[in-house]
């Protein structure tokens, strides 16, 4: 039974209904179909421009969208099910946050850089992908706070983050004119440090009262591995989903593919090396093996070369694994940042790495290397900027992202600290029980008592 502070009977229905009602009204006022979706406009184009149905953007972008969508709802959701008593919340809260975020992000992104001359936001398949990107950033922040916040707190966080994300994105992509198609900076770095700062503000000095639930059990790690595999398989689509059609999109998928492969070997090697008995840690495999995809978010479409992608992926796997082994305990004990999912290791550091690699490659871009494809990747080069200037703008974009994430996360953290959102007590963290009806069995309801394997073998 939930206590009075965590009872969601009024708070959760009220915020969900109010938010959805507001979204419906705002969509009615501002949102319309784009030219590839509206039948009147599409058939006008077919008649005047002699286009065919096969040229509708849906057929170019929908496969990538579907992959990204699976990553958001299945990949991120199941990756966070490693907590032995928090499986319902990991998947369930992921579900509701994503469902709200993709709607709210559509509006804010449209207001900032999607408004047409008629004052409306015209949406289509690409706007769906971009809304999912914003949602990915929200879910990264959710990972840093996993198990320590109520669903209402997470929805309040999403309201602010899904507004700040498009602002940061607008500054980087529209004002600074940088390249970050796969979001090393806009998605991963922003989401990680936004969530980490909130975790610092919401620091719980008495969290040890719930630490016995923070770990995993055999089956919860297997569920989390399902999420990791889905993310790993679809990451080439994630990074290439909105890149320029043609060689740039093809190159992004290829670079990400090889980066992930090299990252996986680096993760296994490092995980075994840092263990005194040479054993592998499933936490490393679930998370650090994905860091190669994060690190290719900015540079994926650039002329990194396949072996360069492997080098970046390998470095990302090493630093991510070392982060889980050595840095996470320091963040917890010294800096008072309780990072449940280790988003600093999977998204934060590899995101910064990706931003820096992108800045270096941009500064080295030449017509000799890219040929006529230079304008696809760097539209301003040769006309308005030199390669070195583009590299400087890329680095500036990383600094801007960190600044907005840290300042925004601090403000939102203090808002979430208000005692009105139904946060769990220190003794109730990492447990589904305060917020879910649970089956009456040992796996879902009662507390698991640790038993040594030797004792089990004696009994059998």
Query: Mind listing the domains of the chain with CATH numbers?
Result: 23-417 (1.10.3430.10)
pLDDT value at position 141? 98
Cβ proximity of 196 and 408 under 8 Å: no
pLDDT value at position 383? 84
Lookup result for tokens 């509701």: 96
pLDDT value at position 114? 82
pLDDT value at position 444? 46
pLDDT value at position 164? 98
CA distance 30 to 360: 40
pLDDT value at position 123? 96
pLDDT (tens place) for every residue of the chain, 460 residues total: 445 578 888 999 999 999 999 999 999 999 999 999 999 999 999 999 989 999 999 999 999 999 999 999 999 999 999 999 999 999 999 999 999 999 999 999 999 988 888 899 999 999 999 999 999 999 999 999 999 999 999 999 999 999 999 999 999 999 999 999 999 999 999 999 999 999 999 999 999 999 999 999 999 999 999 999 999 999 999 999 999 999 999 999 999 999 999 999 999 999 999 999 999 999 999 999 999 999 999 999 999 999 999 999 999 999 999 999 999 999 999 999 999 999 999 999 999 999 999 999 999 999 999 999 998 999 999 788 999 999 999 999 999 999 999 999 999 999 999 999 999 999 999 999 999 999 876 544 444 445 455 554 554 4
CA distance 185 to 396: 11
CA distance 219 to 374: 49
Residues whose CB is less than 8 angstroms from the CB of residue 280 and which lie 6 or more positions away in sequence, other chains included? 268, 271, 272
pLDDT value at position 457? 52
The CA-atom distances, in angstroms, between 236 and each of 68, 98, 122, 227 are 10, 21, 27, 16
């Amino acid at each position: 039974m939930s206590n009075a502070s965590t009872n969601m009977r009024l708070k959760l229905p009220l915020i969900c209904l109010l938010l959805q009602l507001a979204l419906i009204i705002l969509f009615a006022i501002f949102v319309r179909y784009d030219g590839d979706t509206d039948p009147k406009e599409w058939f006008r184009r077919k008649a005047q421009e002699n286009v065919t149905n096969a040229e509708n953007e849906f057929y170019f972008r929908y496969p990538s969208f579907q992959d990204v969508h699976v990553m958001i709802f299945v990949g991120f959701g199941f990756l966070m099910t490693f907590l032995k008593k928090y499986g319902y919340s990991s998947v369930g809260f992921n579900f509701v946050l994503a469902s709200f975020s993709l709607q709210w992000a559509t509006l804010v992104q449209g207001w900032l850089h999607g408004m047409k001359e008629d004052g409306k936001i015209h949406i289509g398949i690409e706007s769906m992908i971009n809304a999912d990107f914003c949602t990915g950033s929200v879910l990264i922040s959710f990972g840093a706070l996993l198990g320590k916040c109520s669903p209402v707190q997470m929805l309040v966080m999403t309201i602010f983050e899904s507004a700040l994300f498009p602002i940061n994105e607008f500054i980087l992509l529209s004002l600074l004119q940088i390249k970050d198609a796969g979001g090393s900076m806009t998605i991963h770095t922003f989401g990680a440090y936004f969530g980490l700062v909130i975790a610092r503000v919401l620091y719980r000095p008495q969290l040890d009262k719930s630490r016995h639930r923070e770990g995993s059990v055999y089956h919860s790690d297997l569920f989390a591995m399902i999420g990791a595999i889905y993310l790993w398989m679809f990451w080439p689509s994630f990074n290439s989903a909105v890149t320029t059609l043609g060689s740039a999109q093809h190159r992004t998928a290829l670079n990400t593919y090889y980066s992930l492969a090299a990252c996986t070997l680096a993760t296994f090697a490092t995980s075994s090396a840092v263990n005194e008995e040479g054993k592998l840690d499933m936490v490393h495999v679930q998370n650090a093996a994905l860091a190669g995809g994060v690190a290719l978010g900015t540079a994926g479409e650039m002329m990194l070369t396949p072996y360069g992608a492997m080098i970046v992926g390998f470095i990302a796997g090493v630093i991510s694994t070392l982060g889980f082994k050595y840095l996470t305990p320091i963040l917890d004990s010294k800096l008072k940042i309780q990072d449940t999912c280790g988003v600093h290791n999977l998204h934060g550091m590899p995101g910064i790495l990706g931003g820096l690699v992108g800045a270096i490659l941009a500064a080295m871009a030449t017509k000799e290397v890219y040929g006529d494809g230079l304008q696809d990747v760097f539209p301003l080069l040769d006309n308005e900027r030199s390669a070195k200037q583009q590299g400087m703008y890329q680095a500036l974009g990383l600094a801007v992202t960190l600044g907005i994430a840290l300042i925004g996360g601090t403000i939102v953290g203090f808002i979430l600290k208000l005692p009105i959102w139904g946060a769990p007590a220190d003794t109730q963290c990492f447990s589904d029980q305060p917020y879910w009806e649970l089956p009456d069995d040992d796996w879902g309801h009662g507390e698991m008592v640790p038993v040594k394997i030797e004792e089990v073998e004696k009994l059998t």
